[in-house]
Structure 1
Amino acid sequence: MTGRFTARRTDKGDVELRAPYGDGTPSAHVKITCDESEGRGEFRNEDYYTGEFQARCLGKVRTWNGAEGELTLGPIAIFR
């Protein structure tokens, strides 16, 4: 998936990436959570947490929550 992502730190210190998905109503989004233990040094750069950035993410579908419009992917690789 290629998109404009935002990033935030979770309470556990993991990195959660989100990007809009499709153009339906109501809107949907993709969520990818990267475990802190698997994170690369780039996620320690505070620039990730201010605004959006373009990225391509490869992942395996974990769940679709239709009520929330949320597709959760398990990350395999993230290219910025």
Structure 2
Amino acid sequence: DGLTLNRTQMHNAGFGPLTDLVFAFANQLLPLEMDDAETGLLSAICLLCGDRQDLEQAEKVDVLQEPLLEALKIYVRRRRPHK
């Protein structure tokens, strides 16, 4: 049970123009019908992204991300074997 904000609340919380981008991204994810495990893995993969600006040890971040990518691939193949 996480905190849920609507578009107006996000805008008022200081997200400004980022609000529309977040909602557009979320709308693109809806058709994927991801479960909590897929959502959690994808979130972790996004957070552990080695191509962030000014990151000093990007290769270490990429190494941390690799098992998460593999876990997501395996999980999706098992959950959706016919896709």
> Shorter-normalised TM-score: what interval?
under 0.3
Which is strand-richer, 1 or 2?
1
Q: Between the two structures, name the one with larger relative contact order (CA 8 Å, sep ≥ 6).
A: 1
Q: Which has the larger radius of gyration?
A: 2
Q: What is the TM-score when the length of structure 1 is the normalising length?
A: 0.23
